[in-house]
Amino acid sequence: MGIKLVSLFLLCATLAGCQSVAPNGPRIADVGHGIEVSRQAAWTVQEIGPPRGKHQYIWTVDGFALNEMVFTTGISRGDPIFPDPQDDYDLPVYHATMLPDEVMELVAASLRKFGYQQLRTDSLHPVPFGTATGFRFSFTYTTDDGLEMKGTAVIAQRGGLDVILFTAPTEYYFDHYLPMVEDVFASIRVFDVDVTIPACEFANALSLSFGCPTPKKTSN
Amino acid sequence: MRGRYLSGLFLAASLFNASGNVSQAAETIVPGYQPRMDSDEAGLWLEADQLESALRQSPQHVADEALNDYLETLVCGLAGAQCASIRVLAIETPESNAFCLPNGTMVVQTGLLLRMENEAQLAFVLGHELAHYLKRHSLTHHEARRNIEGSMHLLWMLSGFTLLPKLLADGWLAAHDRDQEREADADGFNAAVGLGYDPRQAEIIWSNVEQEESANPKRSSPSLFLADHPTNKERLAAMKQRAGELQAQMQANNLGTEAFRAVILPLRSAWLEQEINRGEFSESIAVLQRLIKSDPGDGHLQYYLGESYRRRNEKGDNDRALAAYRAAIAGTNAPVAAHRSLGLVALKSGQKTAAREAFHQYLALAPDANDRPTVEYYLKTIGE
């Protein structure tokens, strides 16, 4: 039995259009929703979408499924994290009142719908997301054929949900590319954001006093 | 065109009847049976061998020795003289199912074990699956499908390339499969009752399935024409009638509850986590409410009931989740996470004092929790 890897790139490309972006393009990459990150030349980039007006970018070094970094940014309230225009996967959707724990559960539930087996999340903790605050967590899962995989993700709620996640086989690939992933996470810069004070998305939605400005109305 | 349809339907009936003759029951398997190498059945066994091998190597294969010994003993009792031909594999997956491969590999999924209330119920389900193996139903299904597909191709051309022959063929095959299910129901029932298990437990299984499925408004059932299993209601009625007949004749009342619980309860918590991760929260709530009736003080069950309400997030679910978390904490063996989840729901409900207390309690009980920074962050949002 051959090893079959679950690739978000392959799933997303099936559900929406995709196009290559020149791998030798600018070292500063715009990944949507006012987010820029640094990109080393080793990353190859695919642009997926746009699902409902939003873009996804998927990067890889060795090939999609072997290692892939997915940027899905500016997710509106009531929308799923990943494109599913025909509701083939019955994906759960984002709500602005979600706490970071619940956003982590949303990411996990979405990946399970794509067939990620025995997925477990761990170590949710706040991290800088440019000048805003995001949350980071790790996860493990197995493919249909039992290959053990690892992932790490950063989420941020800032007038829409941003999710950046990296997955690779536990053996060799994940640890090998983790330093490059850390470089990308550390390089995140945010512009043109509606809310930059930490946790204001859910704090406003829950009417918590956290010094949050009144959110601007968006087209979401 | 109308005349062509009518003649096609007539021919369909003739051909389906003819192929029905081919798919008459194969002989029951005898101990030590091996199919002829050049037979269709050998091909089915080869596929089953490959699947068995993959399952054994899968990380989902449950290595718990006590569980495997327990299942082997139970299935061996049901199989009687065929015991040596059967291997049992427990597979960790939340879907409620068991099946017996054509080569005698009985696969029992943990989602099924989670839902069973005693050994008697498990015996009826495994007896049913065993009957499929002993009656070689996979072979007769394979032959029926092959024959009907051959007939369908001719009818498809005669009908002017319409979908009607395929629809008729699917319906006929589904009816064939329903007959196999009824036969397995009856044989499994007899095998379990023959070992002294309470016949009323078979009816309870189908009642529970019906209750769980009806809790989920999204779940749709296939049409009666195309369904390859009898309806839950039909099976429930059949089991109830048969149990009534047998109760009057014999004293079969073994539940096997203690032996079952001794093996299942130590493993149940991990299965509960997987159950709610299916994302079918209304079904999980129905399952948990039923299990809680047997173990009202079980902190794990109450915690996962709270998690199901929290994650379903329908109107009124926050209050239900809070009640369940509090019951979990008041019960036995509640996971520490019950305090954190209570804090999350209290926070979302605007109950800041309750949230603060719950988060502090969580950090006191789990000072090294790897999500401590996040909990401290929540505390900060409510003014600490």
B125 pLDDT tier (thresholds 50, 70, 90):
very high
With a cut of 50, say whether residue A102 has pLDDT above it: yes
pLDDT at position B29, please?
A: 80
Q: How far B58 CA sits from the closest chain A CA (Å)?
A: 6
> Cβ neighbours of residue A99 under 8 Å, at least 6 residues apart?
A202, B344, B347, B348, B378
Name chain B contacts of A142, Cβ cutoff 8 Å: 59-60
CA B52, CA B49: separation in Å to the nearest integer? Answer: 5
Q: Does B377 touch chain A (CB under 8 A)?
A: yes
Name chain B contacts of A119, Cβ cutoff 8 Å: 277
pLDDT at position B232, please?
A: 73
- Between β-strands B87-91 and B105-109, what pairing exists: parallel, antiparallel or unpaired? parallel
Q: Mutation test of the interface with chain A: which of B371, B375, B376, B379, choosing the one with the most A Cβ atoms within 10 A? A: B371
Average pLDDT, chain B: 85
Question: Is the domain covering B267-382 a CATH 1.25.40.10 domain?
Answer: yes
Q: Does B217 touch chain A (CB under 8 A)?
A: no
Structure tokens belonging to residue A157: 């709620």
Burial category of A110 from C-beta neighbours within 10 Å (exposed 0-12, middle 13-18, buried 19 and up) = buried
pLDDT digits (tens, 9 = 90+) for A16-63: 555 555 555 558 888 888 899 998 888 888 777 554 546 688 898 888
Name chain A contacts of B342, Cβ cutoff 8 Å: none
B10 pLDDT tier (thresholds 50, 70, 90):
very low
pLDDT at position B106, please?
A: 93
A205 pLDDT tier (thresholds 50, 70, 90):
low
pLDDT above 70 covers a percentage of chain A that reads 70
Q: How far A101 CA sits from the closest chain B CA (Å)?
A: 8
- Determine the average pLDDT of the residues in B96-118: 94
With a cut of 70, say whether residue B155 has pLDDT above it: no
**Residue of chain A minimizing CA distance to B61:** A146
pLDDT at position B361, please?
A: 98
Tokens 């099976």 map to which residue? B235
With a cut of 90, say whether residue A111 has pLDDT above it: yes
A26 vs B72: which has the higher pLDDT: B72
Cross-chain Cβ contact A102/B347 below 8 Å:
no
CB < 8 Å from A in window 313-352 of B: 313, 344, 347-348, 350
Number of other residues whose CB lies within 10 A of the CB of residue B44: 19
pLDDT digits (tens, 9 = 90+) for B204-235: 998 999 899 899 887 765 555 556 677 777 77
A56 phi and psi, to 5 degrees? -125, 145
Tokens 């709270």 map to which residue? B306
The answer to whether A4 and A65 are in contact (CB under 8 A) is: no
pLDDT digits (tens, 9 = 90+) for A113-155: 988 999 999 999 999 999 889 999 999 999 887 889 999 999 9
Q: Does B311 touch chain A (CB under 8 A)?
A: yes
Whole-Å CA distances, B228 to A88, A119, B174: 23, 32, 4
With a cut of 90, say whether residue B255 has pLDDT above it: yes
Q: How far B321 CA sits from the closest chain A CA (Å)?
A: 15
pLDDT at position A209, please?
A: 45
Name chain A contacts of B381, Cβ cutoff 8 Å: 199, 203, 208, 210
pLDDT digits (tens, 9 = 90+) for B159-181: 666 666 666 667 776 776 777 78
pLDDT at position A219, please?
A: 40
Q: Which segment of B69-73, B129-133, B261-265 scores lowest on mean pLDDT?
A: B129-133
pLDDT at position B285, please?
A: 97
pLDDT at position B20, please?
A: 40
pLDDT above 90 covers a percentage of chain A that reads 42
Nearest to A82 by CA among A47, A73, A122: A73
- Determine the average pLDDT of the residues in B142-158: 70
Predicted interface score ipTM higher than 0.95: no
Q: How far B234 CA sits from the closest chain A CA (Å)?
A: 30
Q: Mutation test of the interface with chain B: which of A87, A93, A104, A118, choosing the one with the most B Cβ atoms within 10 A? A: A118
AA identity, residue B84: A
Cross-chain Cβ contact A206/B373 below 8 Å:
no
pLDDT digits (tens, 9 = 90+) for B268-319: 999 999 999 999 999 999 999 999 999 999 999 999 999 999 999 999 999 9
Cross-chain Cβ contact A105/B54 below 8 Å:
no
B189 vs A87: which has the higher pLDDT: B189
Residue ranges covered by each domain of chain B: 20-247, 267-382
A43 vs A196: which has the higher pLDDT: A43
- Determine the average pLDDT of the residues in A80-89: 79
pLDDT at position A200, please?
A: 56
- Determine the average pLDDT of the residues in A96-111: 95
With a cut of 50, say whether residue A2 has pLDDT above it: no
- Facing residue for A142 by CB, picked from B59, B277, B313: B59
